[in-house]
Each structure stands twice: as structure tokens, then as C-alpha cells.
Amino acid sequence: MTEEKLEKIFEFLKIAEKLKSVLRYNKLTTGRKESAAEHCWRVALMVLLLHQELELKLDRESCLKMALVHDIAEAITGDIDAVLVAEGKASKQEKDKLEQEATEKIKSTLPQETGEMIYNMWQEYQKGESQGARFVKAVDKLETLTQLVESGYKIYDKPQFIANYADKAVDRFPALKPVLLEIKRRLKREFEKGNIEWQEKYNEL
């Protein structure tokens, strides 16, 4: 590896380090905000575990790559809250545009082949057309719900949004429905602890 390529890799890592400081909607069980880097790590871990246990006929390495880079643009854009987009307070089109530009910038910092690999994995995830991308997208939502269960009902300021958060993504990768059902069982218990109404429609997948 040349000195020039090493410099490019460390420049990329310097950008990626910012994900450790990008805070998400979720809180950890300690009470502090979760970082995007922590979320990406556990998405990758869940991809590894669920790929193994469900005996999926998908390229595991490709899925892990997507999991690791799926939020890489946020190192530049920050986290654009999904709740704000769902409520129309933030534009999905503008979010997509900013993240596209950010990922292109990140791509340009790396050696050409490596940059294209990162960019292509990110694009595959964004398009959500391949089975691998659908799997990782669904796991992304499931990890978020898992964190919400662990953190507890006290942070549930948008209960209806939370309860249905993963439904569409899992519907596009049905093998994960048993996982979502288990998470919803746990989520329902948290709703009950907080005297939050659990509507019958939340059970539908």
C-alpha cells in the first residue's frame, strides 16, 4: 500500500470518526443519547446473528458492508430525524440530496477502488432493491426498536410512530417477521408499564 493511499484511508477514518458524535433520537439504557456509530455497530452485529440463525442465502459479507456504511453520510450531514420526515417537518427529498452529496464527497477521499466499493454498498442500501439491501434495511429498523425496548417507555413521545416503525421494512423481507413479533411483544410490555395505549392494529404486520 502506497503512502498516498494510506493518507486517503486516514482521511476517510477522520470523517467517519464524526459518526461517534452524531446523536440519534434514541437514548441508551444509561440515559445518554445514542450515537450513529453505536447504532451502525449493532446493526452489523444483528445482521451477522440473524443471517446465521435464519440460514439466509444472501452474501453475508455484502450485507455486513452495507450495515457498516448505511449511515456513513451522517458523518457530514448529521442525523436527519425520521420522525421529522414522517411528520413533514423535514423534506425527504432534501435529506436524500444532502446524503447523496455527502457520500460522493466521502467517496472522493478514498483510493478509487475502495471509494467505489463504499459508495456502491451505500447506494445499494439506499435503493433497497436487492434482497440483501431489504434485509439490512429491515434490520436497521429492528435495531432501533430493540433499543427503544431496552431504554423503556419514558422516552416514547411518539408511540404510534414507534409501534409501526419497522412494519414496512419487514414486510419487504418477510423472513424477519418472527423477530419483529418478538420485539413488539416486548414493546407492548413497555407501553403497558407506561400506561400507553397499545392499539390492536400495532399487532398487524
pLDDT digits (tens, 9 = 90+) for 43-63: 999 999 999 999 999 999 999
pLDDT digits (tens, 9 = 90+) for 157-196: 889 999 999 999 999 999 999 999 999 999 999 999 999 9
Q: State the pLDDT at residue 204.
A: 82
Q: Taking the chain, what is the end-to-end CA distance rounded to the nearest angstrom? A: 49
CA 110 vs CA 4, 15, 73: distances in Å: 10, 11, 14
pTM for the predicted model, two decimal places? 0.95
Q: State the pLDDT at residue 90.
A: 73
Nearest CA among 26, 17, 69, 22 for reference residue 44: 69
- By DSSP bridging, strand 33-35 and strand 23-27 are antiparallel
Cβ atoms within 10 A of the Cβ of 201, count?
Answer: 10
Q: Residue 89 gets which letter from DSSP?
A: S
Q: State the pLDDT at residue 66.
A: 98
Q: Which domains are delineated in the chain?
A: 3-203 (1.10.3210.10)
What whole-number distance in Å separates Cα of residue 23 and Cα of residue 205?
29
- The three three-digit cell numbers of residue 47, written as one number: 445482521
Q: Residue 130: what residue type?
A: S
Is pLDDT of 205 > 90? no
